[in-house]
Amino acid sequence: MSNSKKIALQNWHFKEAKDGDWKKATVPGCVHTDLFAHRLIPDPFYGKNELDVQWVDKKDWEYRTTIQLSKRDLIEDKMELVFEGLDTYADVFINDRKILSADNMFRIWKADIKPYVMEGENTILVYFHSPIMHDFDKPDQLGYNLPADNDHSEDGEVEEKKLSVFARKAPYHYGWDWGPRFVTSGIWKAVYIEKWSKTRIRDVFIQQSQVTKEVAELKAVVEVESTNKRDIKLTIFDQHGFTRSEKFSLEKGLQAVELPFSIMEPHLWWSNGLGEPYLYQFTLELSEEGTTYGSKQVKTGLRSIHLVQEQDQNGNSFYFELNGVPVFMKGANHIPNDSFLTRVDKDAYEHEIATAAASNMNMLRVWGGGIYEPDVFYELCDAYGILVWQDFMFACSMYPGDEAFLNNVRQEAIDNVKRLRNYACIALWCGNNEMDAAWAEYIEDAGWGWKQRYNDQQRKEIWQAYDQIFHYLLPDVVNKYDELTAYWPSSPMQALTADEAQHASFETIKSGDIHYWDVWHGQKPLQAYKDNVGRFMSEYGFQSFPEEKTVLTYAEEKDFALDSSVMLHHQKNGAGNHLIKTYMDMYYKEPKDFTSFLSLSHALQAKAIRSAIEAHRLHKPYCMGTLYWQMNDCWPVASWSSMDYYGRWKALQYDVRDRFKQTILIVDQGDHQLSFYAVSDELLDQAAELTIQALDFNGNMVMEKSLNVTIQKNTSIKIHQEKLTFLQGRLEDFVIFAQLKVGEKVIDSVEHLLVKPKDVACIDPQIEVEYVENGIELSCSHLAINVWLEADQDGFFSTNNFCLIPGKKKRVLFTKSIIGNDDFAKYSLPDKVVVKSMYNFI
């Protein structure tokens, strides 16, 4: 049993501080969602309603509840009020007496309330100061605006002031180039009273000193709080019968005790694709003279994870080694799942993580402009074998460096490193997103033009603050509280060198990670992905609109035009709609209407990111990671996501699922030949058969070739090259079909067009759908490209956005939920399937 008991605080009410009536509130929650629940504001996501609710963040708000405490409650030695999250500037009162002031959304706030409470009814009031009014004068006090280009000051009616950098609050709340501006306030995480006597366990860290398949050398670092000196026994045990105990003498107050132990022949935790993400459940019990006074459980996976940066013939490596195995990271960047965070429940998180696993990913990057996600996110990553690159919450801005700000950041980092360090999925702590490259301190004409806005003294102050936070403060916290996990100061970066070799760019990069945006922002053709491959591709992306069903949640058919005010409002990247159209003109024929444009934008996005992923995997092991931007959305919008706000898979998600398989075949087209690569993440060589066919669009074969090949383990290898001379230059009339088989199992197949889709003759493919015992089977009379399946209910197909060749049937499964169903074993059949292809879009 645990000596510590929690009393949940419920029945909250809220009102505007200056006036208004108390109304029922939802806690955890925020002001915006409470106002919407009472229909005091319109749906913030619909149309341009975002602009009509900007008044909310200029007001102060109050939240209030009462709690009945008994004599028995008050007998306890200690009574603490705990807020796991307060957003953001808040004063807390108990019975009209202030007990704490909060100023950081990411911290845990606690206060001893024993002196302030009484038997009977007690009133708890939280007064939230407007984050906008609280920080409004700070740029004037500083003497200049700090860079924060994604801060949508104009939408928030705060002049030119960049306020996001002063608040330790989710940066994306102030707007981003994919998200709206909703600067929230509220009790956004659990709140409760914790009471206890004598002694309790405050925190447990299972430090994994050394883990191999033979033995795991571990240490339980246990924070214990005691009201007096006493002798206690600490016992640790797991679900397999292992147990170990040791006696300790405690002093009064908070202290740490260490209990080393070993697990022989441990079940190792592996990332998705390499093995089981096995989890141990350790229980710590604290007892005195046979009475248990505290217990705590920690679920974690036993593994070794290292960021390997070693000099090689190409510069310096940048890859993750899991249990001694170099692992190519396949995944995406994750942003918050909603502008209003408390609307994201466990099912929504599991849908995202299950989608990642079903898409053959093994890593997500928690990007630094959002939040340190709640525990459920990391629990799911542990369970599904998804590693996490964890940014600290700093992105695309420069920040203050005064002592109060630094102290606040230090405690924020401590709280979150301690909270997350037990999760097996945590692979890396990263200081910030894009700030080193944006400022580019050591190259005068590099970066985003930020330095040039300031005089020499201002530049010195700004860089000094940066240097202090990301090169000293944060690594110091990681080293103290999670020393075996790597810290990386900024993404992207080459190395911490304090000279021009520090900053990442494709002119010089041979080390570190890189963000590549010349395709999209730079309007380079997709071919540029092949020509610009770094050691670890931690960001790159390409936009699409969501599907029509999603668009209709924020727009009406009268808004169905690229330049309509609603479509422009739900496109936060200024040139975004124009860029989608520009790239579409490069590669596809003109869509026949706006609905077709939406569908074609999916195909275009999938084609772009598919070509990037193939370029990155083809260059393994020079390149050892590809994380596209972005996995998800925080509202319904045109963006770089592969899965929209409602969790619907775009074409990209299906292409990612295909291109992230453990072993893939890549057809790389040069001027006069095709090169065939086998890329494997498996840890054993595979003997395979490669079959290559060239067919016309009616399915007639003009060339066929089969050969035995060896797919080498954990690398990329060219297995064949074929000249295209046999087609006599008529590339637009043929499709290449290539297939890899290991034994009787097809492990990958590829349909490769030899020209751009816009240059392919589009004839009615006459696709037929047959319902079979375990799915549907499709066939056609003429080549069909970008075949897209839609069901009459929400769900997911085993494949979509594919090429269909006459004579080659394709079987497809369907499931209503992706959770726990990564192999589509729990398939079902929708009543109706609609099949479209490029023919229907132009």
Give the DSSP per-residue string, 206-274: EEEEEE-SSEEEEEEEEEEEESS-EEEEEEEE-TTS-EEEEEEEEPSEEEEEEEEEEEES--BB--TTT
Quickly count: other Cβ atoms within 10 Å of residue 162's Cβ: 23
Return d(Cα 286, Cα 234) in angstroms, integer: 5
Smallest Cα–Cα separation from 91: which of 128, 57, 124?
A: 128
Q: Does residue 525 lie in a domain region?
A: no
Least confident window among 31-35, 509-513, 529-533, 676-680: 509-513
Helix extents (H) in 427-544: 435-439, 456-468, 474-481, 528-531
Let me know whether 184 and 208 are in one domain.
no
User: What does the alpha-carbon distance between residue 724 and residue 754 come to, in Å, rounded to a whole number?
Assistant: 10
Buried b / exposed e along 543-572 (16+ C-beta atoms within 10 A): bbbbbbebbeebbeeebbebebebbbbbbb
Neighbours of 686 (CB within 10 A): 17
Q: Indicate whether 830 pLDDT > 90.
A: no
Predicted confidence (pLDDT) per residue in 433-444, tens digit: 999 999 999 999
Domain-ending residue, one of 236, 269, 300: 300
- Banded model confidence at residue 2, pLDDT cuts 50, 70, 90: low
Among left, alpha and beta (phi > 0; psi -120 to 50; other), residue 253 is: left
String of DSSP letters for 91-108 = EEEETTEEEEEEEBTTS-
Contact 541, 520 (CB under 8 A): yes
Q: What is the DSSP letter of 71?
A: H
3-state helix, strand, coil in the chain (%, to 5): 25, 35, 40
The owner of tokens 């590099």 is: 446
In a domain, 595, yes or no: no
To 5 degrees, how large is the angle CA 243–CA 244–CA 250?
135
Q: Could you report the per-residue pLDDT of 734-778, keeping only the tens digit for each?
A: 999 999 999 999 999 999 999 999 999 989 999 999 998 778 999
Hey, what amino acid is at 288? E
Please give the Cα distance from 201 to 256 (Å, whole number): 10
Q: Are residues 182 and 285 in the same domain?
A: no
Query: Quick one: pLDDT at residue 289?
Result: 86
798 is a domain residue: yes
User: Does 344 reside within a domain?
Assistant: no
C-alpha span between 746 and 676 (Å, rounded): 16
Q: What is the CATH number of the domain that holds 828?
A: 2.60.40.10
Which of 706, 615, 725 has the alpha carbon at shortest distance from 666? 615
- Tell me: do 239 and 173 sit in the same domain: no
Domain identity same for 75 and 223: no
Burial 228-257 (b: 16+ CB within 10 A, else e): eebebebbbbeeeeeeeeeebebeeeeeeb
Stronger pLDDT, 733 or 508, i.e. the higher one? 733
Element spanning 734, H or E? strand 734-742
CA nearest neighbour of 742 among 811, 690, 665: 690
CB 677 within 8 A of CB 718: yes
Return the pLDDT at 191. 98
H or E element at residue 576? helix 576-587
174 and 62 part of one domain: yes
Do the domain assignments include residue 423?
no
What sign for the dihedral angle of Cα 139, 143, 147, 149?
Answer: positive
Q: Under DSSP, is residue 603 helix (H, G, I), strand (E, B) or coil? A: helix
Domain-located, residue 446: no
Cα angle value 753/754/755 (rounded, 5°): 95
Strands, E assignment, 586-645: 625-628
Listed residues 150, 170, 193: the one ending a domain: 193
Beta-strand ranges (E) seen in 426-559 are: 426-430, 486-488, 514-515, 537-539
Phi, psi of 471 (to 5 degrees): -110, -10
Q: Is residue 51 domain-shared with residue 183, that is, in the same domain?
A: yes
Residue 14 CA to residue 771 CA, distance in Å, equals 55
Same domain, 163 and 213: no
Given 162, 193, 224, the domain boundary residue is: 193
pLDDT at 823: 79
For residue 790, CA distances in Å to 555, 794, 825, 834 come to: 21, 9, 20, 5
Are both 176 and 33 inside the same structural domain?
yes
Is residue 662 in a domain?
Answer: no
pLDDT of residue 678: 98
- Strand, helix or coil for residue 332: strand
What's the domain count of the chain?
Answer: 3
Mean pLDDT score across all residues of the chain:
95
| pLDDT at residue 1, as a whole number | 41
Task: Please determine, for residue 825, whether its predicted confidence score (pLDDT) is greater than 80.
Answer: no
pLDDT reading at 726 higher than 90: no
Runs of H (alpha helix) within 364-455: 375-384, 403-420, 435-439
Reading the block at residue 79, the tokens are 């009574």
Average pLDDT of span 768-796 = 93
Dig out the tokens for 540 from the structure: 């790159």
> What CATH number has the domain bearing residue 57?
2.60.120.260
- The share of the chain scoring above pLDDT 90, in percent, equals 93
Do both 45 and 165 map to the same domain?
Answer: yes
Backbone phi and psi for residue 635, each to the nearest 5 degrees, phi listed first: -165, 170
The answer to whether residues 280 and 144 belong to one domain is: no
Q: Other C-beta atoms within 10 Å of 397: how many?
A: 24
Question: How many H helices and E strands in the chain?
Answer: 18, 47
680-685: long-range contacts at Cβ-Cβ below 8 A with a sequence spacing of 24 or more? 680/711, 680/712, 680/713, 680/714, 680/715, 680/716, 681/273, 681/274, 681/327, 681/328, 681/330, 681/714, 682/711, 682/713, 682/714, 683/274, 683/325, 683/713, 683/714, 684/713, 685/710, 685/711, 685/712, 685/713
Beta carbons within 10 angstroms of residue 402's beta carbon: 10
Q: Do the bridges between strand 363-366 and strand 329-334 make them parallel or antiparallel, or are there none, so unpaired?
A: parallel
Q: Is residue 635 part of a domain?
A: no
Mean pLDDT of 635-640: 98
Whether residues 50 and 169 share a domain: the answer is yes
Decide which of 91 and 824 is more confident. Answer: 91
Q: Per-residue pLDDT for 826 more than 80? A: no
For the segment 174-219, what is each residue's pLDDT rounded down to a tens digit? 999 999 999 999 999 999 999 999 999 999 999 999 999 999 999 9
In this structure, which amino acid lies at residue 429? Answer: W
- Bridge-based pairing of strands 663-669 and 325-327 is unpaired
Asked if 141 and 78 count as a contact pair (C-beta separation under 8 A), the reply is no
Q: Say whether both 91 and 223 belong to one domain.
A: no
Decide: pTM greater than 0.85: yes
Residue range(s) defining the domain that contains residue 240: 198-300
